[in-house]
Amino acid sequence: MDAYNTAGSNYLPTAFSSLTPQFGHGTDSNSSGCSLDSMSGGDAGVAGPRKQMPRQKINARERCRTFNVNAAYEALRILIPTEPVNRKLSKIEVIRLASSYITHLRSTLIMGTDKSPCLLQHSGKCKSEYGLARVSICTFCMKQK
DNA sequence: TAGGCCATCTGGTCCT
DNA sequence: AGGACCAGATGGCCTA
């Protein structure tokens, strides 16, 4: 299931390999280290023979956008506890684990304990705010011993 | 080698 | 009109 990990650990985006992306503080989506000036370089030679000017610009902008998306992923990624600690999560793992981690933290708040709060909450004593007793196995509860 | 993950390109759509 | 966003296609890299 979660067999995919660490695969792209040292995967270096070709267009950004020279940029040394400033991951980490990507809360500001506009200023997270991507500028068109620095990346509209002369690649993208795929386009037609001559009319590549507008296409290059669009491609560079899209690369910039992808860069910002990845910065946001990275910002989220570092908030998620992993095992081992430096395990690189894929994007889909980031989304899924962030979701379950938020649920876990919310259960911690509600139950007032960090000892398997999700299991306690779903054991029947306490239902969610919507009255639904969700049966789920919390990765973060299981991790604690 | 197959499958997973990813970056990039590209065209379409929506918004300002 | 130009920019932002999105999804599909494509090809490369990496691991089992």
Q: Which nucleotide is nearest to A65 (CA to C1')?
A: C4
CB of A87 within 7 Å of some strand C atom = no
Q: Which nucleotide is nearest to A44 (CA to C1')?
A: B9
Stronger pLDDT, A88 or A13, i.e. the higher one: A88
Q: Which two tokens stand for residue A64?
A: 């910039």
CB of A6 within 7 Å of some strand C atom = yes
Nucleotides on strand B with an atom closer than 7 A to protein CB?
A: 3-11
pLDDT tens, A65-120? Answer: 888 888 889 889 989 988 877 788 999 999 989 998 999 999 899 888 787 888 77
